[in-house]
Structure 1
Amino acid sequence: MLSIIKPLIVNITILFSFAFNANMFIPFQRNMNITFKYKIVYSIIGAFGALLCMAYPIETLGETNFDLRMVAIMIITLYTGWASGLFVVIIVSIMRFIIGGSFIHIGIIVSVSAYLIALLFRKKFKSSNRLISGALAAFTYFGIYIILLYFNIAFLKLSFYITYFIAFFITYLAIIFIIETLLERNKQFDEMVYLDKLTTTGQMAASIAHEIRNPITTVRGFIQFMQKDTKDETLKQFSPLILEELDRTNQIITNYLTLAKPESFEMKTVNIEEVLMDSISLLRPLGNLSNVTIEYVPTDPIYIRGDLQYTKQSLLNIIKNAIESIETQGVVKISKYVNTQLGIVTITIKDNGKGMTKEELKQIGLPFYTTKTKGTGLGSMITNRLIRQIGGTIDYESEVGKGTTVSVSFKLDY
């Protein structure tokens, strides 16, 4: 029994270390856009981990080679997709062929089976509880694996099956748990950095906003007073522009103050369908002026837990940004998706505007960053902050020339 347990412990240690090392190379991010470069890195890490597991097999069973390489294959496929998983399977199969023995074909078949089962469960894995869907994938694989072993390697004992599959199952679920934990830790770290930047902006806002706002109000009042009685045509011509710019300045100051002061939230049950319809109705005239069509198919009421005012403000900002990103003529498509397993509703706002580069996408929501010529970046920053503070999440996807997709998720209130 010890001769079986020792190599299993080595395999488990290898897989755990590679999970942490992968996070060091490219920190895990939920809903991360896994680019070709990232897939290559994860593929190499997964393949190397699987090969190391094969280098320390259970060697007490004649010409058979048992290890935990299938854990690496399934994890890589579930998290990064078919291409990375296929790369790992090919490398593992080549190595198994090089190792040789009477059961080469069984070794290759079980590796390919692990890949295909993970691929089959990947969609469910992405959209539901990952530990549960991952466990279902593992049990399905166990069934196929045991059948293959039973009909091809008759001398295996029951005690081996029990030991091996317990080790496999625990290691497999433990790595999923580790990755999910790292995802949350990385998210918390990003939140800390983001909030630190918010604090810096807020401190500056608190010190200057009120001092600027008072004289602006005075200037605006005098411009309106002089506009009524003056005979100066130049003043009459330019006073509307002056007032417009003063109002824009006042709005910027209001945004600063929103960042500076703590928000008082009134958390209650909110009909997100009603909020969404109100937001679309308010912004449809702006869309018509910009030759932008807002497409949305109403649904039955869906209730979330949040603050009515700030939920509406956030959606207004996002839809308005989508309209303004379209330079000539286009469409803003809005849709909703309810995931009852995760207990969330996701609102997707997609435009066909100019889009953003990957570098621009990383800066969205940071202080003073904007892609608009007349923007300050505070609108997106406040939107991100409000959504987070009412317990929601916001994610951006964009491609230059094709447009931007913003996904906002809120917790359902049953």
Structure 2
Amino acid sequence: MTKDLLINFLFILLSLCLVQMVYLVKYVYRLEEIKGWVIGIFPIVSLILCMLLPVALEKSFIWDLRWIPFILGSLIGGFRLGFSQLLLVLIIRYLQGNDVGFYVTAITHIYIGLLAIFLSKYYLNMNIKQKLTLSFALTLFALSSSAIVSIHIFHVKIDSIFWTKYVVIHIIGMFISTLLWEVIQTNFQVLQKLVKAEKLQIVSHLAASISHEVRNPLTVSRGFIQMLSEGEATQARKEYATIALQELDRATEVINDYLTFAKPAFDIEENININEEVQHAVNVIIPLANMNGIQVKLSLVEHHHYLAKGDKKKFQQCLINIMKNGIESMENHGEINIHLDYKDTTLHINIQDEGAGMTQEQINRLGEPYFTTKEKGTGLGMMVSYSIIKGMNGHIHVTSEHGKGTCFSIILPVQAYKKKLISNTLSLT
């Protein structure tokens, strides 16, 4: 019996390990969809395993370590998780049969569960010593209540030696489980602080980069304006003024690039003919491809010119950034294939290269400032590209195989289309 009780306790430890793994996966892969429901893994999985593989004293009664996850889950998760656990316990115990055992379970778990749910709002604000004391007290109260109800109401005979082992293992199990849960929560809080620290570091890098990029054209403009004030010839003054204006425009463009990341919405929104803009971006990128010995293949196999909402110039910038990265990922040979496809009211622009490829961890970090796989890259181009597509209510899906290439799929909602029969495949070199 002691061995079976210890196996029950291993089920509880297993579920705690699962929670820790999910938290680590959430941090490593930046999975924002994994949120508060993670805490439900520990009590729910533990309850199911403990009750399906219980320690049976005799045919008329069943014992297991369900009190540990039941009490901790109610204290940690509050009403929603506590009520879900109570319902789960009653359903499983009813299906296991035996009226006496079910009645004991129903009586004890209902009022212990309600008590734990009531105390949960205080439990979360306690320190570790107070939490251990409360969980210890609730465990003793629950075990005592079960014994009293079983012996005095339903006249169930309990072996005193086994009961002592049962209580001891319960107390030790509750102590260890409470400590492990606090360690897991503390580790997760540390990981969250690390994420915030990374974001603060990114902000500092952005501030330094903006000040550096904007200072250069402003310094040039100041110098030429100073020369204008010194009374040069008319033609020279015009040249100085032109250069000063160009540099000021460049400073404005730098600021706009950073604002694109911070605020994806566009000041000018228009209908963009996707086919035409892709063709234009390909024409722009052809000289760079020729310099690197790369063949560009464009495939437009559609019967309509599809339109999407956005800023035409920024969309071109996004396409050129992604195509340029694909070309630079290949070493003086290979192909880059651009293909348009229409699926379920969305337009897919697939840009496939034959470059070095990326790992899944690198893919998950694409779009972060100052993350790049290139030796001299800054990551700002890809950051801006992701923001532009997000501002068009689309998203970018990336698939890659290390050593074989990467495919960027830009997925955009289609606003309308112009009917125009085209069916061509262009090979551009």
Structure-2-length-normalised TM-score: 0.45
Larger Rg: 2
